[in-house]
Structure 1
């Protein structure tokens, strides 16, 4: 076996919740970060991964699909059990314990003691890119792509603010759960995914 094959065989398998959103881009970023990415649509697929990315998309639709696919409660159980999870944009909303401006029937997975405001940075045509310095990531700011992005209104408990932009919190971590308002997977800079992979390796 070649050294490359040996490395790949020992790489953690990391899922990307593939109900909606930019799944392919996250899979590419995970591969560039040295792990095996795998789409997750079913509870049995969730059971096989060492970490999970929840991508951007539309949080209310994602919530409904998670219920329809029988994934919501298994996701909550695995997060409670310590599964490392990284949510971007809509994924940040999904891992918040509380959201503002959501639908009355909108469900979240939870995992971070924070209140998140949906679409806080504006509509689709108000999308923008900006440099964001993130605590724990060396090499200067990352380029953040903000698309109908949420921001964090407040954090509590053990939630730690990792980054702010324009006076608003845009990156948070609590235990094994990481969340950003923006999309690093769209930039070619994989340092946020590398941070998440480090979290997975530490948890295992």
Structure 2
């Protein structure tokens, strides 16, 4: 198989069957313009040849780092399958229509939480956040909850995709797909 997206689809389907929790969890690594890295777990919300999508508050640390340095790396680690997938590439914003559609699919409490949270900002007391949640619950009582203006999504557009499979005696298999002007090329890496 020389199409990394077909291989990802196959592996992701197997992970959805085998992983007990969150097969769509991925580590997202970003960096500041001066190269200081940061990594956190986010959830994959869409994927295909155009890239891998996640959503966040644009004023969060990850949002600010992406705005300043629009490159990222993703890592899926499916421990029960003894596999991982690494993805690297530039990041672009999703369209407003795409963000609106995803936001509308979230649970009401998740929508309200997006309004209530100043993601990544200092919080004096948990009660402050809980009160903000209650305030927004009252504000939108009986109405649809619109997407907050500073909440949207990003798409990581892969330039490199590495598929790692555990093998006995640390003789692991690493398949690297690299994007080029004429499509994807495939090679192997030493473990």
Shorter-normalised TM-score: what interval? under 0.3
| Relative contact order higher in (CA < 8 Å, ≥ 6 apart) | 2
Larger Rg: 2
TM norm structure 1 = 0.22
**Which has the larger strand fraction?**
2
